[in-house]
Chain A
Amino acid sequence: MAADPVVPEPPPGAEVADLGVAQFPQPGTGPLLRVRGLCAEYDSGERPVIAVDRVDLDVFAGEFVGIVGESGCGKSTLLFAIAQLLSPPASITAGSVEFAGRDLVAMNDRELAPVRWRELSVVMQSAMNALNPVRDLRHQFTDVMRAHGESSAARIDQRSREVMHLVGIDAAHLRSYPHQLSGGMRQRAMIAMALLFTPDLVIMDEPTSALDVVAQRSLMLQIKELQQELGFAVLFVTHDMSLVSHFSDRLMVMYAGQAVEVGQTRAVFDHPSHPYSQGLLDAFPSIHGARTALEGIPGAPPDLGNPPPGCRFQPRCPLAYEPCATVAPDLYEVDGVQSRCLLHSERYRPDRVEGRQ
Chain B
Amino acid sequence: MTDSASTGASEHRSQPPLLEARGLTRHFQVGGLRTRQTLHAVDDASFAIAAGEIVALVGESGSGKSTIARLLAQVYKPTSGEIRFEGTPLSRLRTRRDRLAYRSAVPMVFQDPFSSLNPAYRVSHGIMRGFKLHRPDVRPADRAAEAVRVLEAVGLTPAREVMDRFPYELSGGQRQRIGFAQALAYRPKVILADEPVSMLDVSIRIGLLNVMADLRAQQGVSILYITHDIASARYVSDRLMVMYAGHVMETGPVEDVLAAPLHPYTQLLVAAVPDPRAPLSVTADMTRGEPPKVIVPSPGCRSRDRCPLAIDICHQVTPPLLELAPGHQAACHVAAQRAGMPLPQPGTPARARDVGTREAGMSQPGPDR
Contacts and interface: CB of A to CB of B under 8 A. Distances in A.
Interface of A: 4, 6-8, 10-11, 14-17, 19, 21, 70-71, 168, 182-185, 211-218, 221, 239-243, 245-246, 266, 269, 279-281, 283-289, 291, 293-297, 300
B100 interface: no
Interface stretch (B16-24, B124-132, B204-212): B204-212
Interface residues of B, number: 46
Interface of B: 60-62, 171-173, 201-207, 209-210, 228-232, 234-235, 255, 258, 268-270, 272-285, 287-291
A38 B255 CA distance: 48
Contact of B280 (A21, A183, A291): A21
Interface centre among A185, A211, A246 (most CB of B within 10 A): A246
Contacts of B289: 218
B281 A214 contact: no
A8 B204 contact: no
Contacts of A21: 280
Classify the interface of chain A: helix, strand, loop or mixed: loop
Given A8-B281, A15-B284, 11 more contacts: A8-B280, A213-B60, A213-B274, A214-B287, A242-B275, A245-B276, A283-B203, A284-B205, A284-B206, A285-B232, A287-B273
A295 B206 contact: yes
28 contacts: A7-B281, A16-B284, A70-B204, A71-B172, A71-B201, A168-B288, A185-B290, A212-B61, A212-B228, A213-B274, A214-B268, A214-B269, A214-B272, A214-B287, A216-B272, A217-B274, A218-B289, A241-B202, A280-B203, A283-B205, A284-B202, A285-B234, A286-B231, A287-B234, A287-B270, A288-B277, A296-B203, A296-B207
Contacts of B258: 287
B202 A240 contact: yes
Contacts of B277: 286, 288-289
A70 B203 contact: yes
A242 B274 contact: yes
A124 B36 CA distance: 35
Given A10-B281, A296-B204, A221 B287 contact: yes
Contact of B282 (A212, A221, A279, A288): A221
A218 B205 contact: no
A242 B273 CA distance: 9
Contacts of A7: 280-281
A330 B255 CA distance: 44
Nearest to B290: A182
B280 A213 contact: no
Contacts of B268: 214
> What 6 A-B pairs come out closest when comparing CB atoms?
A245-B276, A212-B228, A285-B235, A296-B206, A15-B284, A242-B274
Nearest to B209: A285
